[in-house]
Structure 1
Amino acid sequence: MRLIQITDCHLLADPEARSRKGFPLRQLQAVLESAKSLRPDILLVSGDISQDETPASYRHAAAAFSSLDCPWFWLPGNHDHPRLMVEQHEIHNEVDLGQWRLLMLDSRLSGQAHGELGQAQLQALALRLEDDDRPTLLAMHHPPLEIGSAWMDAIGLGDREALWQTLAAYAQVRAIFCGHIHQAFAKQYGEVAVYGCPATTDQFLAGSASFAIDEASRPGFRVIDLEGETLTTWVERIDI
């Protein structure tokens, strides 16, 4: 089973619009074309699909994601408008991966850059984990731990301690995949691995105390291979 994770597309209604350092839709299309050669079984899109929260931006996204010959699943980020997303494609909260399962969490907090899962969603997560002990992946937009950038850590997952307290009882959770940080990232929290993903648009400078673009880095995606109970993951970059 092979998953491809992409994130932070930041598309606009105008398909030719620029971001700070490039053209979001062109870069998304180039990332997907590269990912296609790896023959994914599932495409996971971990939020901030849109920059301007317009219906057109989600139409562009849905058309691009559908160009891959595999099912695709998305979740909202802090820049997204869930109702407009659902008009194009359903938002799922779980994906059956055979021997594994993927649970999708909504960390978006309306009107805020930082995220929260909230008590009700954490309680629901615990019930879902009680019901099935297969190896489990979690996906959310906001990172559930500090990444070493002061400005980004201030707008991460606000209730991350409550999340880790919830997960402490469930050894089947193997990894969490997040967006939001616009950079490759990997860190272990106890027995759970946490992975960030390059954006398909601008990259953020790792370790920066304040907002900064990484001028030298390139758009990319994360590959997640599941074989038996083994997880292998790495990042691929594209030339633009």
Structure 2
Amino acid sequence: MRLVQLSDCHLHADPDARSRAGFPLRQLESVVAAVRAERPDAVIVSGDVSQDETAASYQHAHRVLSRLECPWFWLGGNHDQQDLMRDIKAIHDDIDLGDWRLLVADTWVKGHAHGELGAERIEALVERLSQDERPTLLVMHHPPLPVGSAWLDEIGLKDRDALWQALAPFTQVKAILCGHIHQAFAGRQRLERGEVMVYGCPSTTDQFLAGSDGFAIDEASRPGFRIVDLRSDEWLTWIERIDL
């Protein structure tokens, strides 16, 4: 089973709109073309599909992502309007990956850049985990670990300690995929029963400079995506970049 993660497309209603370092829609088109060549079985887009929170931006995304020759799914980030997303395509909480599951955790907080699950969402996640012992990936927009950039860590997942406490009994949770940070990232959270890996993903548009205390674009980096190959209860993951 090959899963591809895309993230942080930041599209506008205007198809020719610029970002700080490029053209988001054109870059998404190039990324999707590269993903098609990898022949994934499923694709997940981990939030911030839109920049301007318009219906037209989601329509652009749907048109381009529908070129994929596999099922694709999306979730909301802090820039997204999830009602507008659902008008175009459903947001799934539980995605069947054969021997594996992919569970979506919604970290959106109205009016804020940071993320939070809250007690109710964590309780619902625990309930879903209790129903199936298959190896499991979680996907969420905000990272549940510090990533080493002061400004990004300030707007990460605020209640990550509560999340890790809730996940502690569930040995089937192997890794978490996150968006929001616009860069490749790999970290780990050690729990009494073992460790959970956390993976960040490049943006399909601008990349953030790793290790920067303040906001900074990495103009030397390129858009990309993450590939996750799932094999029984093991996995292999890496980043692919595209040439513009």
TM-score range, shorter chain: over 0.9
Report deviation, 1:130.
Answer: 1.2
Match of 2:56 in 1: 56
Report deviation, 1:46.
Answer: 0.1
What SS is found at the alignment partner of 1:10? Answer: coil
Counterpart among 186, 200, 223 of residue 227 in structure 2 = 223
What SS is found at the alignment partner of 1:62? Answer: helix
Could you tell me which runs of 5 or more consecutive residues in structure 1 were left unpaired when the two chains were aligned. none
Match of 2:120 in 1: 120
Mapping of residues 141-160 of structure 1, within 5 Å: 141-160=141-160
Output the amino acid matched with 1:138. L
Output the amino acid matched with 2:153. D
Mapping of residues 128-147 of structure 1, within 5 Å: 128-147=128-147
What SS is found at the alignment partner of 1:61? Answer: helix
Report deviation, 1:91.
Answer: 0.4
Report deviation, 1:186.
Answer: 0.2
CA distance in 2, matches of 1:170, 1:228: 17
Match of 1:206 in 2: 210
Mapping of residues 1-240 of structure 1, within 5 Å: 1-190=1-190, 191-240=195-244
The share of aligned pairs that are identical, in percent, is: 63
CA distance in 2, matches of 1:146, 1:228: 29
Report deviation, 1:110.
Answer: 0.8
Output the amino acid matched with 2:43. L
- TM normalised by structure 1 equals 0.99
Output the amino acid matched with 2:7. T
CA distance in 2, matches of 1:132, 1:84: 31
CA distance in 2, matches of 1:115, 1:194: 16
CA distance in 1, matches of 2:37, 2:131: 36
Output the amino acid matched with 2:207. Q
Report deviation, 1:131.
Answer: 1.2
Report deviation, 1:98.
Answer: 1.1
Output the amino acid matched with 1:226. L
CA distance in 2, matches of 1:132, 1:178: 22
Question: Structure 1, residues 33-73: CA drift from partner, whole Å, max 9, x if none?
Answer: 00100101101000000000001000000011100011111
CA distance in 1, matches of 2:142, 2:232: 28
Output the amino acid matched with 1:229. D
What SS is found at the alignment partner of 1:174? Answer: strand
Report how many aligned residue pairs link the two structures: 240
What SS is found at the alignment partner of 1:164? Answer: helix
Could you tell me which runs of 5 or more consecutive residues in structure 2 were left unpaired when the two chains were aligned. none
Report deviation, 1:208.
Answer: 0.3
What SS is found at the alignment partner of 1:182? Answer: coil
What SS is found at the alignment partner of 1:146? Answer: coil
CA distance in 2, matches of 1:153, 1:66: 33
4+ residue stretches of structure 1 with deviation over 6 A? none
CA distance in 2, matches of 1:159, 1:5: 24
- TM normalised by structure 2 equals 0.98
